[in-house]
Structures are given as structure tokens and as C-alpha cells.
A and B are shown apart, each in its own frame.
Chain A
Amino acid sequence: MTSTALRRFNPYWMLVLPVTAAVALLYIAPIINILFLSVTDPQPGLGNYQKLVESDTLIRLIWTTIRVCLITTFFAVSLGYLVAYTMMHALEGQRRWMLSILMISFWISVLVRTFSWLMLLGRTGLVNETLISVGVISDPIAFVRNEVGVLIGMVDYMIPYAVLPLLANMRGIDPRIMSASRSLGASNLQTFVRVYLPLTKPGVIAASLLVFISSLGFYITPAILGGGKVLMIAEYISVQLLVTVRWGTAAMLASIMLISVLLLMYILNRFMKLGTIFGGDVR
């Protein structure tokens, strides 16, 4: 172990030492502070963590967060799969366009997108007004200001996060394998179900974990599109930090989130090298 570590040691690492130290100081120190706070505020002990099992509010909060994130993950990855699949089977020029559009939407601020949904799907939004004016419905449909709205906003935001790892995965699959399946007598559907889907499993898992982890920290979208009714962990932490000043609770929840995310990242890394998700493989 030590000998391999020594062999792997590269003197160029010395060059990034100052940056590493800065990161440690500016990033890791506050995290340790958070962990520390979670067992010391308001009094030392595991009182904050005890609330996790005692407080229905916290249990519901965590459940809401997990539920919303799971549903978001399901839809974002399903739709992202379709997008990635279409891109893989499009002509080279079309694919470049699709990737550009995807990247642009990736860079549009979450706020702009959230408010766009509000304008589009609100009671007096474009969709409801149109449906009412053509007589499909008489009362506006509540697309937003509820959990459905949160899901729409989050799924929309998360699709590019799902597409990129899926694309990286799909790019690595030899198209001849699917041809082989066809030549062996399998229909398109059989080929998809028995060959393509299993081969994209690592991509699906990586995309799911990435989307799920990113969803956990969602704050603005649930706050606005949820109409205040869909309280997720990130917003709750912020309220505990800034409004009710229950830093112990906030720190405890933050620690739980941190540990869960690290755990998921560890799993993610086993399925797909993290670097390849956004790395050089994406042309």
C-alpha cells in the first residue's frame, strides 16, 4: 500500500499543494465545524440526532425530500434516456445541435426556468388560458404551487444532468452489438430490452444517482413552484439557520445530507468513474 502510494507520488502534486491547502481551509474546515455544531448546539450530545426518530416533522420532511427526489429521478432519467437515445441515433449534425440546445438549457439559471414554468403553467398561464379558450377545460388546472409543480420544475432542470452520463455510457456501446442481436433474430424491441437496456444500466445508475444527489439540494424550485407546501430539506435547513436560529438542527440535517451524498457518490463512483460523466468523453 505504502510502496504503491510512493510510486504513484508525482512531484507535480507539489504545485497544487497551496490550492489543496486553501480548499482544506476554506471548505473542509467549515464542514468539520458543521459536524461539530450538530453535536454541540444547543447542548453537547446527540440530542439533535435523536430528533430524527422523535420528530414527526423531521421524518416527514426527510420523507418528502426523498419522495420528491425519487420521483424526479425517475422522470428525469426516463426522459433523459429518451433524449440521449434520440441523440445517439440522430445524424452527426443533428446531434451537435441537440447537444448545444441541451447545454444551453443546462446553463440557464434555475430561477429563470422556475419563473418560466410559473408563467407557462400558472392559473392564468399560457397553457391554462389556451385550454380554457379552446374549451377543453372550464377551470384552470393546478399545475404549479403544489408538488406536481415542484416535480415539473425539478425534472426539467435535471434532464441535462441525466442525459450527459447516459450519453457517455451510450457512446461506449458498440452499435454492432445491437446489429448482432437483430441478425440473431431479435426484433428491435427485443434487442432494446435484452441488450441495449442492460448495457446502459451503468449509465442509468450513474444518471439516477447524479440526479438524485443533485435533487436533494434543491431549494428555489420547491420554494417557488411548491407554493410553500412542499418543504424540502435544503429550505428547511436555511430556515433553521437564518430564521428560527436552530443551528443544531440545521447542522444535524446538513451532516445527514452530507453523509448521504458522500455515500451515494461512493456508490456512483463504483459504477462510473466520476470524471467521465462530464469529462472528455463528451464531445
Chain B
Amino acid sequence: MQESETGTRQGPSQYLKMESSGKKYVRHGDLVLQGLTKKFGSFNAVDSINLTVRNGEFLTLLGPSGSGKTTLLMMIAGFVDPTAGQIILDGSDISNLPPEKRNFGIVFQGYALFPHMTVEENIAYPLEVRHQSRSMISERVKEMLDLVQLHGLGSRYPRQLSGGQQQRVALARSLAFGPRILLLDEPLGALDRKLRVEVQNELKDLHSRTGTTFIYVTHDQDEALSMSDRIAIMDRGQIVQLDGPTALYENPVSVFAANFLGKSNFVRTTIMDIDKTGMQFRTGDFLIRQKIRQSGLAIGNKATLAIRPEKIRILDPSKSEKFNNSTNAVIRRISYFGNVLEIELVAPSIGEITASVPAWQFQGSHSPGQSVTLCWDEDAAVIVRDDDAVGET
């Protein structure tokens, strides 16, 4: 959401501190996780997570498998008991509430529809266990069928439906009782690529129509980027970075974050100079100038720069002098992806670099072995934390 995107320029660590300390930021309907931890033996599946999920937002937990995202979701759902920490909703700790008392809808991986019930019965289930009136139930079921565009399929059994239709039944079922929060655990994993994009749009649509808070778990960056208001990138049980999609993409805080959300080139440098307009970096004999202002860094510090492939420009060597941050390189390989070409280059000054360029522009004009000049703008790179580098601050 708007404010969170703007509030993160200072970097994620400050943001998280603000979350945990500032109770005044918590509003009605916000879900607050405080120091939430799950240990399996000595392994920290979820490691002391602090997070406030804003009422009505679409928050995605994005991470590779084993990053703890599903465990975190299941703790919120009530199926996994936290080892430590609290889950707070509207001022009360719900950590010990059984799942059925939390009123959170969940869409499971594989949907977990009741195979012995029809679509209507599936959707009516949460209402029946809440002892709603018959007329209310049938009205609500119809409403939900319309919402997910499944009218006419109410008397079918799940096995008679396509994957996408089952997915929608699962959504309708978990939204039927008006849950405070909808938790979605990789709900698109079983769908083919084309359908996935379609359902992404529907989900986003559904989110804005219902106004329910969505907490969405995925390992797919495209899903995360296209739907989320905010994304929490998770790694080894911790939130590495929490921000809006644009901010996350443009300002990754670490090599991991930059790599997990999109692709990135990394250039390991030493800071040579800091002034009002930016910084100068050096790697070997190659000098790089970027308009970066970041506190806590001093001349002589090491810094890793991340540059997105689409920000790398490829030029004819003869024109290269006009640009800053330009260096000679040789094309090693060109891969065709329809809309873009991915060009792998080797630059003597900075090593391997990948560039992503529009295919229509470059198709046929370049070939492996060709000498070129590559360059990037002064606002193209960001400094990231290098998790792999030893002894770095």
C-alpha cells in the first residue's frame, strides 16, 4: 500500500523496528505477529518474526522451499503451535485459539475440497457448522457461486471439475463465512501457466471486491509481484525484506533478495568517494559512479552493487566514450525468450554480466564472440548486503 512503499526507503531493518515498537500504528483488523518462532528440535523453522499485516491488504510471503513461509502461515491458521511469540488480532492474543475459532479462511495447496460433497455442499459447509439458517445458506451459496463464476456447477462433485474450477470452489468455500483473513498456501501450484495468470487476475479482483485481508504464500515471484500490496521475502525462517513490489524490485537489500525477486548482476567494489550527489566505486581499474545516498558507509568500505539485467545497455564500441559506467565486453551467449533476449557477456573489468534487451530491437544484430561496450545509468545500481561475503558489515 502507498504508505508502506514510501516508508521503506530507509531500509528494512528500520522498518521492522518501527513495526514492533510502535503500537500506535496498529489499527482495527490488523494482525500482529510478535517474536513468532517455531522450532523443530534445534532447527528454527520460523525465527522470531515481527510483522503487522494491515487490515485489507494483500500480503505475500515469498521464499524458497524450506524458508519457513508455510510454517508461518500454518501458525497463523492455528495448525502449528508457536514455540514462542504471539499472534495478536484486535488486541487479543489468539496464539492458543484452535483453528476453527479463528475465523480465518484457508485455501490449501491442492485445494483440499471435500470429495464426497458437491460444490454447493462444500461451500455451504462452513455455514452449516455455524448453524446458519437454511435459507441464509442457500442464498449465500448462490452469492458465492456468482462471485467465483461457477453458477450452474453447484451440483457437481469436485472430481468432475477442472483444476481452475476446483480452485474457485476452494476460494468460494473459504470466503463463504466472511473470514477476517484469507490464508492462501500456494494455491496456484497445480495450475498450468496460462491458467495461473488468469487466476492471478481473478484473485486480485476478488481481493478488491471482498476487502478481506489476504495472506498469500508462494515461491513464484511473478505471482508475488503481480498481486501483492506488500511482499515479505523469507529466507531461513526470517523475513529478509518487506516492502511493496516496486520498492522490493528496485531496492533489494541483499544479494538473496535481489536474486530471489528477479535476476540481478552483482559487482563487488570498494567505495572510493562519497559526496552530496552520490558515490564512486572501484573494482580493479574500473571506476563506477552512482547517485546513491546511503548512511553508515565510509570511504574504503566494500560494497556490492546490484544491477538488474534490463538496466544494462549494449552499445557499439565506437560510441562508448559518451557514457559513464561503460566498459568493454565480449558476447558469450544469446538466449531468445520471445519478448526479450538474454545476452551473457564477459567484461575484463567486472567479469560476467547478463543483459536483458527487447528482442525486437536486437534480433539478429548481435552474435556471440562480438565485442561490444556495456554500460548502465548512474541510478541503475543499488548497494546490497552480500550474505556470502565474509567479514562484511
Q: State how many angstroms separate the Cβ of B124 from the closest Cβ of chain A.
A: 10
Given contacts A176-B109, A185-B129, are A195 and B114 in contact (CB under 8 A)?
yes
Q: Are B108 and A176 in contact (CB under 8 A)?
A: yes
Please indicate the chain A residues that have their CB under 8 angstroms from the CB of B125 in the complex.
181, 184, 186, 194
**Per-residue interface assignment for chain A, residues 115 to 159, with 1 indicating a CB less than 8 Å from any chain B CB and 0 otherwise:** 000000000000000000000000000000000000000000000
Distance between A242 CB and nearest chain B CB, rounded to angstroms: 49
Q: Which of A184, A186, A194, A198 contacts B174 (CB 8 A)?
A: A184
Q: A176-B109, A187-B100 are in contact. Are A182 and B114 (CB under 8 A)?
A: no
B103, B106, B130: the one contacting A180 at CB < 8 Å is B106
Establish whether residues A182 and B99, one from each chain, have CB atoms under 8 Å apart when the complex forms: yes
Residues A174 and B129 in contact, CB atoms below 8 Å apart: no
Whether B98 is near chain A, meaning CB under 8 Å from some CB there, is yes
Known: A177-B112, A182-B79. 14 other contacts (CB 8 A): A176-B109, A179-B79, A180-B106, A180-B108, A183-B102, A183-B104, A183-B174, A183-B183, A184-B174, A184-B177, A185-B103, A185-B130, A187-B98, A194-B125
Assembly CA distance A184 to B98 (angstroms)? 11
Please tell me if the beta carbons of B110 and A174 are within 8 angstroms of each other in the complex: yes
- Shortest C-beta distance, B87 to chain A (Å), equals 15
Does A274 interact with chain B (Cβ within 8 Å)? no
Q: A26 CA to B109 CA in the complex, in Å?
A: 53
Interface bin, chain A: 10 to 19
Which listed residue (B79, B115, B126, B183) contacts A184, Cβ 8 A?
B126
B104-124 contacts to A, CB under 8 A, are 104-106, 108-110, 112-116
Looking across the interface, which residue of chain A has its beta carbon closest to that of B123?
A: A184
State the CA gap A126–B310 with chains docked (Å): 84
Q: Which 7 A-B pairs have the closest CB atoms?
A: A184-B126, A180-B112, A176-B112, A183-B106, A182-B99, A186-B129, A176-B108
Choice from A181, A187, A190, A201 contacting B114 with Cβ under 8 Å = A181
Give B79's nearest chain A residue, CB to CB.
A179
Residues of A within 8 A of B113 (CB): 177, 180
Among A161-190, those with CB < 8 Å from B are 174, 176-177, 179-187, 190
Which listed residue (A179, A186, A190) contacts B106, Cβ 8 A? A179
Chain A residues, CB < 8 A from B183: 183
**Contact partner, B98, options A176, A181, A182, A195, Cβ 8 Å:** A182
List the B side residues contacting A176 at CB < 8 Å: 108-110, 112
Contact partners of B109 in chain A: CB under 8 A: 176
Any B CB within 8 A of the CB of A199: yes
- Collect the chain A residues with CB atoms within 8 Å of residue B130's CB: 185
Chain B: which residue is nearest A183 at the CB level? Answer: B106
Q: State in angstroms the CA–CA spacing of A186 and B78 once bound together.
A: 13
Chosen A-B contacts, 12 in total, with CB atoms closer than 8 Å, are A177-B114, A179-B112, A182-B99, A182-B100, A183-B102, A183-B104, A184-B126, A184-B129, A184-B173, A185-B103, A194-B125, A195-B114
Q: A186 CA to B130 CA in the complex, in Å?
A: 8
B314 at the A interface (CB under 8 A): no
How many of chain B's residues have a CB under 8 angstroms from any CB in A? 27
Interface residues of B in 76-109 (CB under 8 A from A): 77-79, 98-100, 102-106, 108-109
CB proximity of B3 to chain A, nearest CB, Å: 31
Closest chain B CB from A182 CB (angstroms): 4
Chain B residues with a Cβ under 8 A of chain A? 77-79, 98-100, 102-106, 108-110, 112-116, 125-126, 129-130, 173-174, 177, 183
* B residues near A187, Cβ cutoff 8 Å: 98, 100, 129
Residues of A within 8 A of B174 (CB): 183-184
In the complex, the chain B residue whose C-beta lies closest to that of A191 is B100
Contact with B along A74-110 (1 / 0, CB 8 A): 0000000000000000000000000000000000000
Q: Which residues of B contact A179 (CB under 8 A)?
A: 77, 79, 99, 106, 108, 112
Residues from chain B with Cβ under 8 Å of A185 in the complex: 100, 103, 126, 129-130, 177
Complexed CA–CA distance, A138 and B116 (Å): 53
Nearest-Cβ distance from residue B290 to partner chain A, whole angstroms? 48
State how many angstroms separate the Cβ of A163 from the closest Cβ of chain B: 22
Nearest B-chain residue to A179, judged by Cβ? B79
Kindly name the residue among A182, A184, A198 whose own CB sees the greatest number of chain B CB atoms within 10 A: A184
Q: Which residue of A lies closest to B99 (CB)?
A: A182
**What CA separation (Å) do A174 and B125 show in the bound complex?**
18
CA distance A187 to B113 in the complex (A): 17
Q: Which of A182-216 contact B (CB under 8 A)?
A: 182-187, 190, 194-195, 198-199, 201
CA gap between A195 and B116 in the complex, in Å: 8
Assembled-state Cα–Cα distance A184/B124 (Å): 10
Distance of A181 from chain B, by nearest CB (Å) = 7
- Chain A residues with CB below 8 A from B110, complex form: 174, 176
Distance between Cα atoms of A183 and B112 in the complex (Å) = 11
Give the residues in chain B near A186, CB-CB below 8 Å.
Answer: 100, 125-126, 129
Cα separation A198 to B77 with both chains bound (whole Å): 25
Q: Which residue of A lies closest to B101 (CB)?
A: A185
In the assembled complex, which residues on chain A have CB atoms less than 8 Å from the CB atom of B102?
183
- Residues in B whose Cβ lies below 8 Å from that of A195: 114, 116
Contact B129 A190 (CB under 8 A): yes
Cα separation A98 to B3 with both chains bound (whole Å): 56
CB-CB nearest in chain B for A182? B99
A198 CB contacts on chain B under 8 angstroms: 116
Q: How far is the CB of A171 from chain B (nearest CB, A)?
A: 15
Candidate in B102, B115, B183 with the most chain A CB atoms within 10 angstroms:
B115
Q: How far is the CB of A125 from chain B (nearest CB, A)?
A: 45
Contacts of A190 in B (CB 8 A): 129
A178 and chain B: residue at smallest CB distance: B112
* B177 / chain A contacts, CB cutoff of 8 Å: 184-185
A243 to B114, CA, bound (A): 57
Select from chain B the residue with minimum beta-carbon distance to A173.
B115
**Pairwise interchain contact A183-B99, C-beta atoms closer than 8 A:** yes
| B116 proximity list for chain A (CB < 8 A) | 195, 198-199, 201
Contacts of A177 in B (CB 8 A): 112-115
Inter-chain CA distance A199–B113, complex, in Å, is: 12
Closest residue of B by beta carbon distance from A198: B116
